[in-house]
Amino acid sequence: MKNLKFTFFSMFMALFLVTACTNNEPVGEEEQQTEESQSITASLNQLSTLFNDNGNIELSNNPAGNIVLDFCFDFVYPLTLSYNNGSTVTIQDLDNLVDVMLSSTDELYIDGISFPFDVETFNDDTDSIEIETIEDEEEFIDLLEDCDFDEDDDECYEEYDPVCVEVTSPNGETFIVTYPNECYAEWDGFGDDDFLDDCGSDYYVGGFECFSFNFPISVVTEDGEMITINSEEELSTELYDVYVFDFVYPFAVTVYEDEDDDEEDIVIINSAEDFEDVLEDCYDDYYDDDYEECEECEDEPVNPVCVEYTTAAGETIVTAFPNMCFAECEGFAEDDVVDCGNGNNPQTCTLEDIENNLVQCEWYFYTSLVPESEENEAEFTSDGVVVVYLENAPLTGTWELSNNALSNEVTMSFVFTEPLDTIANLDWTVIQCNEEYILLESGNEYLVLEGNCD
């Protein structure tokens, strides 16, 4: 079987099925030696921010869908905690911990823990989940300081442009985590070198618009535990602290032919390959629809707009789009729009700057002249040669920059044969530019160059 790991950002409302004590008494009292710990109290307070008062996961706070990546660490169970009245409780798993957390009150709460204990943490140097032993309160404090709970990813824009990363579990097995966009991944320590070229092995596409599971279904974890899942609410809950799992086949899904769910088919999934086929169809349909929506923007007149956002590293980025339609298609809103003169003014992006960036970076371009085209890779050389890697074969042409001394405008010209000869027939003016983005305009036509300079 193929090991699978899904993330559930804006996918399902995950309900923790807890059995809180109605009399506010501790669960499963045992007398074991514990020490008073401000860190365990702080940890549970922070953990509670991932859930609402009913124990539902706050999806906006859990972009990775995994407790180690979304919270910072996971306890290795069993774990012995103590209440402020001196009684103790043994926690067997995450569900049990959430149970205790939700049943705590201002009068009765956890304020102690038995040392030593183990936690699972993420090592961003090796992209792996590792087990770390916490010997005392001082080491617990160090752990929380490393978590940087004061930092958050609220600045990540709500655009669904997924990136996938591969992580190694404590058992040595690898699994894939899908983030809604690279901003969230960067907050967890991932970079461009970590992103997988093909994110298709985790075909979550914004809510499973095209199919739903017919419950109950069962999964088997990497530890051999079989879990029966009875609803969508249980699905992300049961898998929140699971790294690798396999479905138990066969199971059924309902496939929807349109957004209104007017047409549906019941499909029996007998293998991982069958499920992959369903996911691929869903994935392809989603991005085909998304591309068609953005394609409509090509009919809009060129009226450049700039949007501003902050990366996980705290860097403020200003990105230009040919018009507001493209910006909205990428997930930005009017509130994100800023003056294009801030950071993207052509007068601050000189001919020499553009020339150096073109030669040193990898570039992709698309143009209103070829509305059906996708982004094509382009390689610029210092001797004025440009190679565009089309679907069938590379096409070699030339490029040249010039500067208008009166207007201080930078212009760009190309020489191409078919099918890019229409580009060569026009003179292009640089409208917006930065290190990784160049917008060229010629009348009502535009040409966009997007670069990667890492």
pLDDT of residue 237: 74
Residue ranges of the chain that CATH labels 2.40.128.270:
343-452
| pLDDT per residue of the chain (454 residues) written in tens, 0 to 9 | 334 443 332 232 222 222 223 233 444 444 568 999 999 999 999 998 887 776 767 766 788 888 999 999 999 999 999 999 999 999 999 888 988 998 899 999 999 999 999 999 999 999 999 999 999 999 999 999 999 887 655 567 666 678 889 999 998 989 889 888 888 898 888 988 898 876 654 433 334 457 889 999 999 988 888 999 888 767 877 788 888 888 999 999 988 765 555 567 899 999 988 888 887 777 555 444 444 556 677 677 777 788 887 654 556 777 777 788 888 877 788 888 887 654 444 445 788 889 988 998 888 888 888 755 566 889 999 999 999 988 768 899 999 999 877 777 889 999 999 888 899 999 898 887 877 788 888 887 888 888 877 6
State the Cα–Cα distance between residues 103 and 87, nearest whole angstrom: 15
Look at residue 170 in the predicted model and tell me its pLDDT: 92
Query: How much is the pLDDT for 230?
Result: 87
| pLDDT of 137 | 96
- How many alpha carbons lie under 13 Å from residue 192 in its C-beta half-sphere? 3
C-alpha–C-alpha distance, residues 67 and 350, integer Å? 47
Segments of 222-304 assigned E as strands: 226-229, 245-247, 251-256, 264-269
CATH class of 343-452: mainly beta
Angle between helices 137-147 and 38-47 (to 10 degrees): 30
Q: What is the DSSP string of 188-236?
A: TT--GGGB-S--TTS---SS-TTEEE-S-EEEEETTS-EEEE-SHHHHH
How high is the pLDDT of residue 136? 97
411-417: long-range contacts at Cβ-Cβ below 8 A with a sequence spacing of 24 or more?
412/354, 412/440, 414/386, 416/388
